[in-house]
Structure 1
Amino acid sequence: MRFCTKCVMPDTKPDLHFDEHGVCDACRSQKAKDFDIDWEARKQEFLEVVKKHKKNKYYDCIIGVSGGKDSTFQVLSVLEMGLNPLCVCFEPTIPTEVGRQNLANLNQLGVDLIHIKRNPKIYKSMIKEAIKRVGDCEWPNHLGIFTTPAHIAVNFNIPLLIWGENSELEYGGPAASKDNACLDRKWLEEFGGLLGNRATDMLGVDGISEKDLALYFYPEDEDVQRVGVTGLFLGYYIKWDLRKILSSAQKSGFSVSDRRVETTYENFENLDCYSNHVHDYLKYVKYGFGRASDNACLDVRLGYISREQAVRLVTKYDGIPPMKAINEFLKYTGFTREEFDAIVDSFTNKKIFQRDANGKFIKDIDGSLVRKEEYIVR
């Protein structure tokens, strides 16, 4: 297991590549963003794209929102540019109170907001199937947040969709995904966190029919082409800095937690949904890095902390089971703790974490998995 020599991201991250100096491609992308891109020219390019795709009489674009710091910043950015967005929120799996408050605050910035309240029976069946099948409790949400704004775009004849940062650019991924400013069906299926699972794979689960999955299918190609649906990453046109984005959002009423988020050292990440923290924990058991690693790597790349500080933070906070979120998830799904632990163990990486003579994973008193010596971040 190798760790990037600039940040602390390990090579277990899917599709992450290191150069001959041991530097990951996310760090190399950050260097390009710092020195090689004319961001003012990119902003003007964005405004020209908006003019080209403006077909609706009332709305200039659609923004998929959650109420988090990023979507709050997206709304603020387009409002400052004089645009009138229609915001679309696909309901979180297990909403939090601060998440509800932040979504309401986003609405109060002066935008129309459509809140998609998905069929709870169908959605819960997909949640329970997805965590057992691909080890991701947020799989249906990943699908819904990308497909529902596209459906609204087709049906309201609003061709332009505005997304936030390109995760492949910010966190590392294949070059093809970073060179493209657009989010379309291909990007969703390759890089949208679907883990090889598709909406059609849920047909028949607890009697789920094609009609039940209408929102989860990306619109038909002929409809996309007729309207000219185009999804753009705002992070391609505006330099993405999580702490500046947070500051901007807070000045406009965004609320952070009064304590750190369970899976990291910050108090502003994934505040809208308990299930997100379970998702981050499952990522940790699979690949040996979690939300604390994600945050620390971004902070290092942006110059807010040193690599040495990142190592300490990751060592201290990554991998602690998010018990509040897990308990909320158990209440939501009806899984017993034993059933949940068995699912998690089935996806836990046997190369990274220690096991006893009976093959059972060794855990500390706080429930954290014990890493093998050679897989400890340094």
Structure 2
Amino acid sequence: MISYCSRCLYPSTKPDLWFQDGLCGACHSFEQRSKYDWSSGRQVFRDLLRANKKNPRYDCIVPVSGGKDSTYQVWRVLQEGFNPLCVTAPTDQLTALGRTNIENLKSLGCDYVEISVNREVRKKINRHAFFAVGDIQWPEHLLIYTTPVRAAVQFQIPVILWGECPQREYGAGRPEDAYLKYFDRRVLEEYGSLNGLRVSDLLAIDGVAVRDLYFYEYPSVEDVDSLGLKGIYLDNYFPWNGISNAVISQSLGFRVSETNILGTISNYENLDNYVHGIHDYLKYLKFGFSRATDVACNLIRRNLLSREDASMLLERHDGRYPASYLDRTLTEILAYFEISMQEFDAVCDDYTNYDLFLQDQAGQLTRREDGSPQLAGSYSCLHS
């Protein structure tokens, strides 16, 4: 049976989440952050970039997707008087809205490098990871971390500027990791959503060779150490708030969806990739919560949404079957990876944690109108 944080709605099934006195790690972290003195953050940030400058042109690398957070990150760096090199490895299932927002980010006044890995190899890895670990976005999750590090070594730029520290914002990992200052190889391997699948395992895929995996691998220890690489988090120096990030980004030309995004309670994130819906649905089947919960919990902590109202919204929006996403049907999205609807449903069944969902007397899942399984107990127990 799922239990929930007494302040937000993070469940006990969330991987790597810890609880103390009924509060989840994310709420404990936010409580501590609210007491932080930000007055020196800006100067510490400026001093760090100046002290670690090697490339005569660029002050840091900002990994970007074109989303609200990376748009805000680039704007913040520019406002502080620094020149970032923006780096991305966009998905092969990039949406039209995602491309629009990337182009908008490029117009802010920065250089931008887009690294496109071999599409056929990436497609094979997407497909393999979907069946092997239930994560069709596995290549994206890895490349967003390894590609900027490769670029840092290539261009001799020691500082990579990430946005929020996930261990802080979402409470995953050991309590001490809520105070992380640097992203490094250890953090990638422990929290990089690899799900136990190693890069070396990809060589078992037919048609994938060592030469195809260069950008999927973290650079050598020697290259990283000689550069003095520091992966820093912007939320160590400036307050972090996804809502204000969205407001600032929209004022800079960032486009949101005209409708709510499937599986969440917002229209300002998960805009760039057609497979977001698939990833979030598998997350729901495995752990009993999904992206809508992540968004709601962040709003609850910031007193922008009550826990009771959030629980009602999550019953309606969290974990929805991804029959379509933005302007494409699930059949169309899966066809790119040569995955049939029958295979998709079979994989979903394989990765479903039946203990988390209602079942009838025959052991069959009780399903909502859209076909997604109904949580046992549901959020209804959290509101009257």
Interval of TM-score (by shorter of Structure 1 and Structure 2): over 0.9
Quote how far apart the aligned CAs of 1:17 are: 1.3
Q: Which residue in the other structure is 1:299 paired with?
A: 299
Quick check: 1:368 aligned with 2:379? no
Q: How does 1:180-199 map to 2 (within 5 A)?
A: 180-199=180-199
Q: Distance in 1 between matches of 2:365 and 2:203?
A: 34
Deviation, 1:328, is 3.9
Counterpart in the other structure of 2:228: 228
Separation in structure 2 between the aligned mates of residue 275 and residue 306 of structure 1, nearest angstrom: 30
- SS for the counterpart of 1:355 is coil
- What are the residue-to-residue correspondences of 1:1-378 with 2, within 5 Å? 1-20=2-21, 22-35=22-35, 37-173=36-172, 174-325=174-325, 326-356=330-360, 359-373=363-377, 378=382
- Give the Å deviation of 1:360: 3.8
Q: Aligned partners of 2:163 and 2:19: how far apart in 1? A: 25
User: 1:113-154 deviations in whole A, cap 9, x for unaligned?
Assistant: 111111111101100111111111111111111101111110
Structure 1 residue identity aligned to 2:359: R
Distance in 2 of aligned mates of 1:210 and 1:244: 43
Using the alignment, how far apart are the partners of 2:96 and 2:381 within structure 1? Answer: 35
Residue pair 1:61, 1:86 contacting (<8 A) in 2 also = yes
Instruction: Tell me which amino acid in the other structure corresponds to 1:363.
Output: R
Aligned residues of 2:315 and 2:378 also touching (Cα < 8 A) = no
What SS does the aligned partner of 2:258 have? coil
CA deviation after TM superposition for structure 1 residue 375, in Å: 7.5
Q: Distance in 2 between matches of 1:290 and 1:55?
A: 41
Shift of residue 356 of structure 1? 4.3
Runs of 4+ in 1 over 6 A off after TM superposition: none
Contact 2:141 2:194 in 1 (8 A): yes
Q: TM-score, normalised by structure 2?
A: 0.95
Q: Deviations over 1:239-291 (max 9, x none)?
A: 11111111010110000000000111210111011112211111111000011
SS at match of 2:78: helix
Alignment RMSD (CA, Å): 1.4
Contiguous gaps of at least 5 residues in structure 2 = none
Matched-pair contact (CA < 8 Å) for 2:42–2:238: yes
| 2-structure distance, mates of 1:140, 1:348 | 22
Give CA-to-partner distance per residue, 1:20-70, whole Å, 9 cap, x none: 2x11111111111112x1112122211111112111111001111000000
Q: In structure 2, how many angstroms separate the alpha carbons of the residues matched to 1:377 and 1:112?
A: 51
Q: CA deviation at 1:313?
A: 1.0
Q: Is the 8 A contact 1:8 1:377 kept in 2?
A: no
Contact 1:177 1:187 (C-alpha < 8 Å) held by counterparts: no
**Can you give the 5+ residue segments of structure 1 that lack an aligned partner in the other structure?**
none
CA contact (8 A) 1:274 1:328 kept: no
Inter-CA distance 105–341: structure 2 relative to 1 (3 Å threshold): same
One-letter code aligned to 2:186: K
1:352, 1:375 within 8 Å by CA — same for their partners in 2? no
Distance 1:175 1:316 in 2: 32
Answer whether contact 1:86 1:113 (CA < 8 A) is retained. yes
Q: 1:327/1:268 Cα in 2 relative to 1: closer, same or farther (>3 Å)?
A: farther
CA distance in 2, matches of 1:96, 1:183: 29
Give the TM-score normalised by structure 1: 0.96
CA distance change for structure 1 residues 86 and 39 in 2, over 3 Å: closer, same or farther? same
Distance (Å, rounded) in 1 between the aligned partners of 2:92 and 2:11? 29
State the secondary structure of the residue aligned to 1:113: strand
Counterparts of 2:381 and 2:354 in 1: how far apart (Å)? 17
Task: Count how many residue pairs are aligned between Structure 1 and Structure 2.
Answer: 376
